[in-house]
Amino acid sequence: MNLPRTPSFRLDGRRALVTGAGRGIGLACAAALAEIGAEVTLAARTAGEIKAAADAIRATGGDAEVAVLDVADFAAVEAFFAAQPAFDVLVNSAGINRPKPMWEASELDYDAVLGLNLKSAFFVAQGCAKRMIAEGSKGSLIHMSSQMGHVGGPNRALYCASKWGLEGMSKSFALDLAPHGIRSNTIAPTFIETPLTKPMFEDAAFKASVLAKIKLGRIGQVEDLMGAIQFLASDASAFMTGTSLVVDAGWTAD
């Protein structure tokens, strides 16, 4: 009897790009992809953090390069992809949050959050996909969304708008790109402890309010997302597109 075999989680010989890769979730995504054999390019606006991250990945036997790239500079994004062979995997991880009540949000806040979380994600994905189509290569686009792309949250009007938009955008990408063998999905985490969010949890009342909704009873760690990244990047998820992998410890189940 010939038993079915699990599609490979390996990415040997494939190129992956991770934006916002210098720390936190982006760094974890880059490390996860390097672990399964991808040639990872870490992209961010400043060289220091991504150089240190790439050095750490190489020290563990991984393959990593750096690209100083401001994803909000669309001319630079276009030039970057024009100068590169096609990537097989994109992780759109650059993002920002400015939590405040909706009546306090300014136009500058709106432009900052929607500009990076949604507009930049669109044009990075577009640049990556155009290069893939031009070279006839297949692959996986992964966009770092949030549970706040599926529910609302107090003081999160701008963030929710950006992540709900990202969810819809990814679904449309999936439909446009399916004929080219390019998949588009999101990962939607709950609160994850990172250098940016850790100070928030020093507020005991805020931490308690978060833990009251996280059914598994703990704040997420970046390691909790690494398996999801490996899955969506690899052939193990070859039949998944246009959907969201919600990694929220039960938040949205209630």
Q: Is residue 93 part of a domain?
A: yes
Give the residues of the chain that fall short of pLDDT 50.
Answer: none
Provide the whole-model pTM: 0.96
Q: How many CB atoms lie within 10 A of CB 209?
A: 11
CATH number at 165 reads 3.40.50.720
Residue 20 within any structural domain of the chain: yes
Q: What is the pLDDT of residue 197?
A: 87
Please report whether residue 205 resides in a domain: yes
Query: Across-strand partners of 15?
Result: 39
Separation of alpha carbons 103 and 155, rounded Å: 9
Q: Is 9 a domain residue?
A: no
Residue 198 is predicted with a pLDDT of 85
pLDDT for the residue 196: 81
CA distance 84 to 13: 15
Residue 10, domain member (yes or no)? no
Domain membership of residue 156 as a residue range: 15-247
Q: How far is residue 58's CA from residue 55's CA, in Å, rounded to a whole number?
A: 5
Domain count of the chain? Answer: 1
**pLDDT attached to residue 254:** 85
Backbone φ and ψ of 32, nearest 5°: -65, -40
Give the residues across from 41 on adjacent strands: 17, 65
Q: Is 110 a catalytic residue?
A: no
Q: Which of 80, 81, 87, 159 does the annotation list as catalytic? A: 159
